[in-house]
Structure 1
Amino acid sequence: MVSKDIPAENAGPKVGVRHLQSMLIFFGLCVSFMQRVNLSVAIVAMMDRNSTNPDFPEYSWSERTKSLLLSSFFWGYFLTQVPGGQLAQRFGGKKMLLFSVGISAFLALFTPYSAQLGDWQFICALRFLQGFCQGSIYPSTHTILARWAPPAERGILATICFSGSQFGTIIILSISGTLAASKFGWPSIFYVSGGCGIIWSFVWLLWGADSPHQSKLITPKEQYYIESAIEVISKSENNTTSAKLPTPWLSIFTSLPFWVLLILNCAYNWGYWTLMTQIPSYIKNVFDKDIKSNALLSALPYAASLVLGLCFCALAQVLLSAKVLSTNASRKIFNTIGMWVPAAATIALGFVDANSADLAVILLTVAVGTNSATFLGGFVNHIDLSPNFAGTLMGITNCAANCMSIIAPLVVGVIVTDTTNPNQWRLIFYVVAFYYFIGNLLFITLGSTKLQPWNEPVKRDTDHERIKFQVVVDDLEPKQSKLESS
């Protein structure tokens, strides 16, 4: 146990092992997104009959087969969101994150061989398994953050972690063209992303930890700072109390703040995936400018998201340190920036003249870039509501949100029957702005950052039983006194 001689008001080291854990998760999400996106960029070279590198096979897949290949990852990813949260709660975030990234990395290494062995069917199966493994990444991350991030630093540390997804996307988009054109061909895209995942797994195995109590690197000063700031985290010898808590499903699903958070995540995903999957088509067909063929333009929105996310992180740190904002105000202000600014940008996007393609790209970059402010808002709100069940909450909300990432492109397909018609696209942008507006409006009016009473169901039940026992004892004492006197 940590010495109690360390003063509770100690703010702890400005840079410590908690930041190391966040950076490790940053790179874990980086390599996981490299593995998630690698097929999206490699498939162009895999289907290129005019490839300058004839040493590697090309495949004559139809657009339908291509769609199946690109979507197969998310079939498995959807299935393990809620179970992933439960497993992270039961076995710890470290093990589940190691399993998720490590196994997915091995599968990435075998992707080129599976293509040669069983064509697109084998790749579909392999991508399904990758998604199945990665389904527990975000729930595991929330489970770890709940034990490592003091309340005042949750937004900052969470932003560091989640920025890894943008960084991984930037990296794979930037190097994929060079790798495909190298002597190693398109298989090297999978080898690099898989190899980085293997390397990260060994580093995480050595330095990663479920909690400060289990870290071999942390100082007693920092450990006490974190544990004293997170009152709901058990300080028992094994620090496994939360793993033994039964999940209060009924309390969770009857909690208003939880439903607000679920709707918020669905709204975020609707807008995010509509922009990411459909805007390239919009720019190409309306403005006759193919941004997918330009690596810089393809990576620009993600780069903006990464840079702005870190800027928002620094700003939040200054405001919280100066006590200008409360935690509740900080969550809602940054979430408003992350959803209402993109809402305004998407509405403006619908009115851009067909001769102003550069302005459309700028608005897209603003919309996606400012989305990163939600890392300091709704993304971390799961931990505010219930640190003990943060992974489970993230699993539930992310599961529902991923349904939106499937439905949103289908809605675009129904509304946009003529991809060159800007009026039809304008309706899509209205829908995105509507979801962003309503989702954030509910969050700022009905959302909460208060610790929910169902965070510790066993403790509440134990207290209730203790009170009942005390009532019985108090009732028996007078009777016992009468017997003794007689």
Structure 2
Amino acid sequence: MENEDEDHRPGWGRTCSHGCLLPLRIVITLMGFFSLICAYTNRVSLSHVITKLVVPINRTDADGIIGEVVCPKEEEPKNDKGYNNEGTYEWSEQLQGLVLGSFYIGYLLTHLPGGILADKFGAKWILAICTLISGVSTALSPLALEYGAEWGLMAIRIIMGAAQGPVFPALTTLLSYWVPAKERGSLGTFCYSGVTAGTVISNLCSGLMLHYYHWPITLYVFGILAVIWFIFFIFLCTSAPKTHPCIKPKEMAYLYEKIPEKSGKLPIPWKKLLLSKALFAVIISQMGHDWGYFVMISCLPKYMADVLQFSIRSNGIMTSFPFIAMWCSTLICGCLADWLIRTEKMSRNIERKLFTLIAAFFPGAFMVIASYAGCNKILVVVCFTLSLFTMGPYYAGQKLTPMDMSPSYSGTIMALTNGLGAIAGLLSPPIVGVMTPNATLNEWRGVFWLAFAILLLSAIIFWIWGTAEVQSYDPNYSAEKNQEK
């Protein structure tokens, strides 16, 4: 691990700074963006793969259910590769939910240790090693399935989840050292938009690879890409500006002025943290958002396949549109947030709360509307696209508040909020499986109504008790308040 308190050697910035075409805080942001792409392609790809692993439901069975409509099945386009991607595993909807949700068992357990280690010793190696393990686990998933069936796949998913648990806390700590407060909206939001970009890439590429090739290739490709990212990251990035051999003096001076010096050796003020209403509000908001978002990333491919009966290739393409819309919205809202705060048209506190509320009410509403669109496939895709487009402001809202509240303990706060938010990821796929035993339209409508209620309630709690103000327990409380002015 790097020691954040180590004095930088004389002549810093001269060894390779002339070769840096971009400011290093941009490079760090880009590498963080790509780390989340790797994490989410690893995480989400199984949601598509599982539709080819499992024997498909005979939709004519729904004819016996009163009030149910069976959507016409889209014929699978023929490919000339000769691969048999038809399902071989007879897993119930509940078992499929358990397989998809098993990721979050490991994910939940490692958030807090990862955040504490990143705050104390630096984020670089925490982020690097965790992403590497995630990639290797993804590439080994076909082997785990071959020798352990559903239990082997669940075990490797738990390992992958444990590896990804520290990713968000470590990344938040990394950004707190490299990104000044006035650039958090644009750079921080862009970095976190890797979540949506990874989901887009996973949906689109999984659909195409599953159509043209045997299903394991999807997991091999995404696993290997994470390993490649690891190699670039360890050579390009450091935990803090003062330990980077290639930083330019001008950028170093700028970051030194805008970001107060932080020490990883200070004890964490657990009592003040855990008794904070603001932290409680952030946790509830995170859980609400994660419920709605995880329902979409884990279950939307199944809804498209089981209810609308899209072919696997069309499924990949159609589930990409909503996440492309969300990615564009995320970037726009990040820049808009910085502009609103910089021009003093809106305080940082109000901006974070308003964007969080927008990103909860409208996504939930459009999910419900989509469920009433029946078998009108175009209208359903439009509604889901609007749902995730309006979820874009979330990353310029609540997601930035751990850095706002306490840059010195941002990794720990992110670990608590994102880690407990993972409870939603752990519970939502199995609960969706229980709610949709026949995978019918009416059963899914109940899923979307529940998501709407959870999203809205969590955003209201954040509006009442949440804050983007620097908290008094941060050791640089006075300095941070001055930087915000």
What TM-score do you get using the length of structure 2 for normalisation?
0.80
Aligned to 2:473: 454
Q: How does 1:350-369 map to 2 (within 5 A)?
A: 352-354=372-374, 356-369=376-389
Q: Distance in 2 between matches of 1:221 and 1:281?
A: 51
Per mean C-alpha deviation after superposition, the further-off stretch among 429-438 and 147-156 is 429-438
Deviations 1:15-40 (A, max 9, x none): 62211111111011111211112333
The AA in structure 2 aligned to 1:381 is T
Q: 2:452 aligns with which of 420, 429, 433?
A: 433
Q: Does 1:223 pair with 2:252?
A: yes
Aligned to 1:272: 293
Q: Distance in 1 between matches of 2:216 and 2:436?
A: 35
Aligned to 2:179: 149
Q: Distance in 2 between matches of 1:453 and 1:432?
A: 35
Q: Distance in 2 between matches of 1:112 and 1:278?
A: 21
8 A Cα contact 2:364 2:455, kept in partner: yes
Deviation at 1:223, TM superposition (A): 2.0
8 A Cα contact 1:283 1:360, kept in partner: no
Q: Which has the higher contact order (CA 8 A, sep 6+)?
A: 2
Q: Distance in 1 between matches of 2:375 and 2:55?
A: 31
- Change beyond 3 A, Cα 1:280–1:119: closer
Q: Distance in 2 between matches of 1:294 and 1:421?
A: 17
Deviations 1:109-135 (A, max 9, x none): 333344444444433322221111111
Q: How does 1:308-457 map to 2 (within 5 A)?
A: 308-349=329-370, 352-354=372-374, 356-412=376-432, 419-420=439-440, 422=442, 425-456=444-475
8 A Cα contact 1:40 1:70, kept in partner: yes
Aligned to 1:8: none
Deviations 1:31-82 (A, max 9, x none): 1211112333334445579997667898732214644443332221121111
Q: Does 1:30 pair with 2:37?
A: yes
Per mean C-alpha deviation after superposition, the further-off stretch among 447-456 and 168-177 is 168-177
Q: Distance in 2 between matches of 1:189 and 1:281?
A: 17
Q: Does 1:82 pair with 2:112?
A: yes
Of Structure 1 and Structure 2, the greater helix share is in: 1
Aligned to 1:167: 197
Deviation at 1:219, TM superposition (A): 1.8
Q: 1:16 aligns with which of 23, 26, 31?
A: 23
- Change beyond 3 A, Cα 1:115–1:278: closer
Q: Distance in 1 between matches of 2:143 and 2:297?
A: 29
- Change beyond 3 A, Cα 1:341–1:87: same
Deviations 1:432-468 (A, max 9, x none): 2332222222222322111112122999xxxxxxxxx
- Change beyond 3 A, Cα 1:248–1:66: same
Q: Distance in 1 between matches of 2:35 and 2:429?
A: 28
Q: Secondary structure at the match of 1:112?
A: helix
8 A Cα contact 2:41 2:201, kept in partner: yes
Q: Secondary structure at the match of 1:106?
A: helix
Q: 1:197 aligns with which of 203, 218, 226?
A: 226
Q: Distance in 2 between matches of 1:416 and 1:125?
A: 25
8 A Cα contact 2:138 2:219, kept in partner: yes
- Change beyond 3 A, Cα 1:223–1:197: same
8 A Cα contact 2:97 2:431, kept in partner: no
Q: Does 1:72 pair with 2:102?
A: yes
Aligned to 2:310: 290
Q: Secondary structure at the match of 1:454?
A: coil
Aligned to 1:252: 273
8 A Cα contact 1:163 1:306, kept in partner: yes
Per mean C-alpha deviation after superposition, the further-off stretch among 352-361 and 137-146 is 352-361
Q: How does 1:8-157 map to 2 (within 5 A)?
A: 16-46=23-53, 60-64=88-92, 66-157=96-187
8 A Cα contact 2:408 2:476, kept in partner: no
8 A Cα contact 1:257 1:446, kept in partner: yes
Q: Distance in 2 between matches of 1:435 and 1:43?
A: 27
Deviation at 1:305, TM superposition (A): 1.0
Show structure 2 runs of 5+ residues with no match.
Answer: 1-6, 11-20, 57-75, 479-485
Aligned to 1:210: 239
What TM-score do you get using the length of structure 1 for normalisation?
0.80
8 A Cα contact 2:105 2:426, kept in partner: no
Deviation at 1:215, TM superposition (A): 2.0
8 A Cα contact 1:29 1:165, kept in partner: yes
